[in-house]
Structure 1
Amino acid sequence: MTETPRDYATELLDAALMHVPFDGWSETAFKAAIQDVDVPPALARGLFPRGAIDLAAAYHRRGDGAMIAALTARDLSEMRFRDRVALAVRLRIELVEDKEAVRRGVTLFALPMHAAEGAKLIWGTADHIWTALGDTSRDINWYTKRATLSGVYSSTVLYWLGDDSLDNQATWAFLDRRIDDVMQIEKVKAQVRKAPGLGRLMKGAESILNRVKPPKARREDLPGGWTVPR
């Protein structure tokens, strides 16, 4: 009988989560996870070159994966599109198994040296949501949709971390307000397009901006933000 190979990356992440509430996403937690799993340090460093930073990023991406699975399993056909977006953000938060791990992650990625990494992860979450919901935009809207949703998602997470209401009802109300704010912006844009003078001006600007194309797909299953050579 063939023995199933060990998934060291998953084992290390699971082990680290036991230490994160006390040590944060730190080198201390990373080394403790290595000892718990009994994996050669060189192998652990090969899987997570930046140590705890890559562990925290892997934990975030794990949450994205769980959200995508839960979202695709739902029947969204009868839902308004704004409700689909709200559901995706809510699922992403509800599926978090360790709130303290998220809190520690927010603290980590708030540091100036890791802020870009944190922004990239949030952008990735927004991208996964739009992709799962069937977004086909290939112009400037590809960027604006993800930028807007990144703001909604990040602000909702911060609100959720401080929410002590029953079943996080205050957080979901906050999320609905943020989605409504975004919808108001879209309504204003639609009204501007209909205005005789402004409409032509906006259409001209949009015709230029629509030449902007989204980036080519890159692999996200590798640690450290490394990009596969073309």
Structure 2
Amino acid sequence: MTLPESETRDRLLDAALMHVAFDGWSDATLKAAAADIGLDAALVRSVVPRGAVELALAYHARGDRAMLDRLRSEDLGYLKFREKIAAAVQFRLDAVEDKELVRRGATLFALPQYATDGAKAIWTTCDLIWESLGDTSEDVNWYSKRATLSGVYSATVLYWLGDTSADNAATWAFLDRRIDDVMQIEKLKANVRNNPVLKPLLAGPNWLLGHIRAPKKTGGEDLPGTVGPQR
């Protein structure tokens, strides 16, 4: 019986994980994984036409799903919003069973031809975090929230990869400091907006920003968003 493409990709990914630490997310890993589960080259090409990078992206997406499952199962109602963000990032990193898999992924996505794939994967993770925590923004804030969290998340991952502290305690402290930095920036922005001297100077930029809209959830063909009349 022929398995659905998604199941075949999952089997290939599972087989690849034991090879990634030695050969990275590479053609060598892809070939070894295919041999382990008896997939011929033609079927491998049909499942992952772009090669091993698709396995790396599939592994990242698997971690995102694990994070979402935990966010749905945990009671976060007693936490402040900034603490919920920190918890979501921690849940995402907790989903990684071996840091070497992420380290090898970071090396792959640092290559120019895959940098866009890596940036999109991080953006998707941060988008899922905001959506899962109930973000309903539809204006420029949709972008600024995800861009800011992408920076925090990326920095935290890099710190976490080198963290040898017990239970990654140093990483969670680092994450808290980065979120504190963001909160200070938000306070500064609010002060600037409310400043009677600076407020008139921002009228033009604020008018323009007020016309930026988040991408539609249906179809996704209008990414990275729209510019139109305020609703």
> Is the TM value for this pair above 0.5?
yes
Q: Which amino acid aligns with 1:171?
A: T
Partner of 1:134: 134
Deviations 1:88-114 (A, max 9, x none): 011101111121110000011011121
Rate the CA distance shift 1:43–1:163 in 2: closer, same or farther, 3 A.
same
Partner of 2:57: 57
Partner of 2:198: 198
Aligned length in residues: 219
Q: Secondary structure at the match of 2:45?
A: helix
Q: Which amino acid aligns with 1:167?
A: D
Partner of 2:104: 104
Rate the CA distance shift 1:39–1:129 in 2: closer, same or farther, 3 A.
same
Separation (CA, whole Å) in 2 of partners of 1:215 and 1:196: 33
Counterparts of 1:1-230 in structure 2, within 5 Å, are 5=3, 7-202=7-202, 204-217=204-217
Deviations 1:97-155 (A, max 9, x none): 12111000001101112111111111111111111111111111111111100000010
CA drift of 1:52 comes to: 0.4
CA drift of 1:199 comes to: 2.6
Larger deviation, residues 74-83 vs 176-185:
74-83
Q: Secondary structure at the match of 1:9?
A: helix
Rate the CA distance shift 1:219–1:121 in 2: closer, same or farther, 3 A.
farther
Separation (CA, whole Å) in 2 of partners of 1:210 and 1:92: 32
Rate the CA distance shift 1:218–1:113 in 2: closer, same or farther, 3 A.
farther
Q: Secondary structure at the match of 2:213?
A: coil
Q: Which amino acid aligns with 2:122?
A: I
Does structure 2 retain, via aligned residues, the 8 Å contact 1:192–1:202?
no
CA drift of 1:192 comes to: 1.4
CA drift of 1:204 comes to: 4.4
Separation (CA, whole Å) in 1 of partners of 2:114 and 2:53: 8
Separation (CA, whole Å) in 1 of partners of 2:198 and 2:144: 20
TM-score normalized with structure 2 length: 0.89
Deviations 1:150-177 (A, max 9, x none): 0000100000000111111110000000
**Structure 2: stretches of 5+ with no match in the other structure:** 224-231
Separation (CA, whole Å) in 2 of partners of 1:72 and 1:21: 31
Separation (CA, whole Å) in 2 of partners of 1:212 and 1:183: 23
Q: Secondary structure at the match of 2:197?
A: helix
TM-score normalized with structure 1 length: 0.89
Does structure 2 retain, via aligned residues, the 8 Å contact 1:193–1:200?
no
Larger relative contact order (C-alpha < 8 A, sep ≥ 6)? 1
Q: Which amino acid aligns with 1:206?
A: N
Identity across aligned pairs (percent)?
59
Q: Which amino acid aligns with 2:8?
A: Y
Rate the CA distance shift 1:80–1:138 in 2: closer, same or farther, 3 A.
same
State the superposition RMSD in angstroms. Answer: 1.9
